[in-house]
Structures are given as C-alpha cells and as structure tokens.
Amino acid sequence: MSYAIELVNITKQYNSLQVLRNVSLKVEKGDFITIIGPSGCGKTTLLNIIGGLIKPSSGEIKIFGESMKSVMSDKIAIVFQDPALFPWRNVISNVEFPLEIKGLKKSERRSIAKKYIELVGLTGFENYYPNQLSGGMQHRVSIARALASGAEILLMDEPFVALDEQSRFALGQELLKIWENTGKTILFITHNISEAVILGNKVVLMSARPSTVKEIVNVNVPRPRDPEDARIAEIRKYLWNNIKEESQKQLVSVVP
C-alpha cells in the first residue's frame, strides 16, 4: 500500500539536544490526523521536516511512496500559526500567489483562486486587504492559498491558536467541510486536546523529548461530533492523563 506520508525512524539532533528520536508514522491518503504532545516536544520540528523546511539528522521520508529527495515537495502545503499574508495584496491576489510562482496565466489563476475563495466562504471579500479582515477570515485566506497551490497534503501548525474559542470551533468545522469536499490529506498540530479529538480521525500522541510516537488513538465517533459526547470526553480524558505524564517526564529531564 502506498501511503500519502511515511516516516521511517526520523531523528533530529541539535548539537547535544535530541528533539526527535526514531519517529515512524504512516498516514493514509485522505486521512485527517491530529498531533498532540507536551509543549516543546518537537511537534513543529516534525512538521517542518515533513514539509522539507529542515532536514532530519537521520531517517527517511516518503511522499506517496517516493523518497523525498528535494528540499520541498510541491505535493505539500504548510499553513502556519500566523496566516502570513502579504499586506499589500488583496484576498484574491494572496490566494493567487502560489499560482503565479508556477507561471499560470492570469485568467487561469483567477478562476482557481475564486473556486477556493468560495470554498472557504469568502466570496464577496476578494478585493479586501488583510488589515480589513478578522483573524478568522485571514486564516481562511491562508487555507484557500494552500488549497489553490494544488498540494495534496496540508500540514497545519496550530493555525487557530490565536483565535477565541468560539471562532476556533467554527473554523474547525469549516475545515472539516473543506477536507470532506477536497479529499486532501491533513496533518494538524494542536495543543488543544478537545480540538484534536473533534477534528481528527486519529490522534498521534507524542512522548516527552526526545520525542517519538507514544501512541495512535483512533477516534471512532461518527461526525458531526459533539464536544459533550461521553465517548469524546472519555478519549479526551485518556489523552489528557497521558500528556500530563509525558509533560512531567519532560520537566524532570530539564531540571539540573
């Protein structure tokens, strides 16, 4: 079977600090995976390695069955905590940016950008600039830009962390609709356990540093999921207890 992402014994070392150790993970095409773990355990480092922004110290990364040799893969797009929009470009121009890099004609760029602007619910805001948009709307633009790039895999590094709880939940539900409509493969990092359980088909629990995959928890609860559902609460409690345990290990490891 060819997986969208396959990590084989990924290790990352910064001088004397080992951040990741023998991380192995298989992600099926079209899956929605959330990743949680103690603060500072290397979740973002792992995402950046998959995205080709930094190189692992050892190990292998396969994207759709092929070893990732280049610095970055055009099959992958990254959505960061900060929407990272160009302030001098309006919404549609921001979404068109990766298509400009690819050299597409203006008419083709415009058609693709409008499609994804509509998908994220921003039709009518094409000519607005980032400073005229709410935080949630800016994140929608960032997601539309990632989708417009044509990437089959979306790596999302706590994209909703700066939003209030209500906006965060609403945007999460919109992301699920986009995922269902596009069939993209999504890896989503979060510190919010409820968010991880509500969004993910599976939750990858990372251990204390040097971090590895401690456990993969299947969320076998039908959608739409109610945060107050007893099954959701049970999974949330289980993950919380594990994260507390791993956080304590990490704290002890840095105390002289």
Tens digits of per-residue pLDDT, 8-29?
Answer: 999 999 988 999 999 999 999 9
| The pLDDT of residue 71 is above 70 | no
Tens digits of per-residue pLDDT, 114-169?
Answer: 999 999 999 999 999 999 999 999 999 999 999 999 999 999 999 998 888 888 89
Tokens of 120: 């994220």
Between strands 58-63 and 66-67, the pairing is antiparallel
Domain locations in the chain as residue ranges? 5-75+153-254, 86-151
**Which has the minimum average pLDDT: 34-38, 43-47, 248-252?**
248-252
Q: pTM (2 decimals)?
A: 0.93
pLDDT score at 1? 63
pLDDT score at 254? 54
Nearby residues of 54 by Cβ (< 8 Å), 6 or more positions away: 12, 45, 48
pLDDT score at 13? 94
Residue-averaged pLDDT of the chain: 92
Dihedral in degrees, nearest 10, Cα atoms 215, 225, 138, 99: 70
* Model confidence band, residue 252 (pLDDT cutoffs 50, 70, 90): low
User: What is the CATH T-level fold of the domain 5-75+153-254, as seen in this structure?
Assistant: Rossmann fold (3.40.50)
Cα 211 to Cα 38, 165, 215, 253, distances in angstroms? 9, 28, 12, 12
187 contacts 155 by C-beta, under 8 angstroms: yes
Q: Residue 175 and residue 159: Cα distance in Å, rounded?
A: 11
